[in-house]
Amino acid sequence: MNLENYFISQFSSRHIGDDGALIEGYVYSKDAFFENVHYKKEWLTYRQIAQRAMLVNISDAIAMNAIPKYALLSVAMPKCMSRVDMQELADGFKSVAQEFGIDIIGGDTISNTKLDITITIISKTDKPLLRSKVRKGYVFAYTGSLGKSSKELKKLFNLGKIHKKSKFIDIKLRQKFVQKSQRILKAGMDISDGLFSDLAKMTSHNDIGLKFIKKIAKNVACSGEEYEMLVAFDKRDTKALKRRAQQTRTPITIFAYASRNKYTNRCKAHHF
């Protein structure tokens, strides 16, 4: 058990274990976006920082087939930020909120030595998509292409430049695919820590193993910050799911099925 999972295990609640906490039809999710941990200031504009912070939080709601409704922002800002900088940051938050129909209802601001952001998203769902309910024989798939975020992150750490439409900056969430496929998908979560790391969470949660039917390269398996979807579904629904993926222009890769084989994650943890 890594340090992150050890700390989480200290809290006993039936609501812990998914991308957000499901309580009476509402999903409550929260993520942090800290300078020098998740990003460096020279990588992004203030607008891009706010937009990415919002999108990675909204990803949790979409992963649970929930519609984001409200946001609470906590922003720790360095005193060197000007009013123009603050306006640009606020515009970034508001632009994403407007795109997804989210009402920013409050939060907190404090002075800090760097720019750290935490966001709580409150969402509504009638048919939640959880990490549980995976049975032996169910098929696993992921959306989009994986590996680009890790590659772009390495380039940034090496003082390189990436395009403003790169996956690290311009996150594409799979809301239409999840909503269109909600009657087919049995389980799902967003890929934030990397495919293999998030697979470990899902297999452990369901007490199952995996049988791979497609070889996954390490750069694909271990790339975090992807925000694609990891899903499980009944093999009999494969054609129907592929059809919905095509309708929503969502690339999908089927790579494994649930079995009794023990699954071990070989990728390094991202958080600790």
The CATH number assigned to the domain with range 139-259 reads: 3.90.650.10
The highest-confidence range among 4-8, 78-82, 204-208, by mean pLDDT, is: 78-82
What phi, psi does 120 have (nearest 5°)?
A: -110, 125
What 3-state class would DSSP assign to 130? coil
pLDDT digits (tens, 9 = 90+) for 127-160: 999 998 899 989 999 999 999 888 888 888 887 7
pLDDT digits (tens, 9 = 90+) for 18-66: 789 999 999 999 999 999 888 888 899 999 999 999 999 999 999 999 9
pTM of the model: 0.90
Write down the mean pLDDT value for the chain: 91
Q: How confident is the model at residue 120 (pLDDT cuts 50, 70, 90)?
A: very high
Q: How confident is the model at residue 271 (pLDDT cuts 50, 70, 90)?
A: low
* Residue spans per domain, the chain: 19-124, 139-259
The CATH number assigned to the domain with range 19-124 reads: 3.30.1330.10
User: 186 vs 206, 226, 235, CA distance in Å?
Assistant: 12, 21, 11
Residue 1 predicted with pLDDT over 70: no
Burial of 126-164, coded b for 16+ CB within 10 Å and e otherwise, reads eebbbbeebeeebbbbbbbebbbbbebbeebeeeeebee
- The residues that bridge with 141 in the sheet, in sequence order, are 231, 254
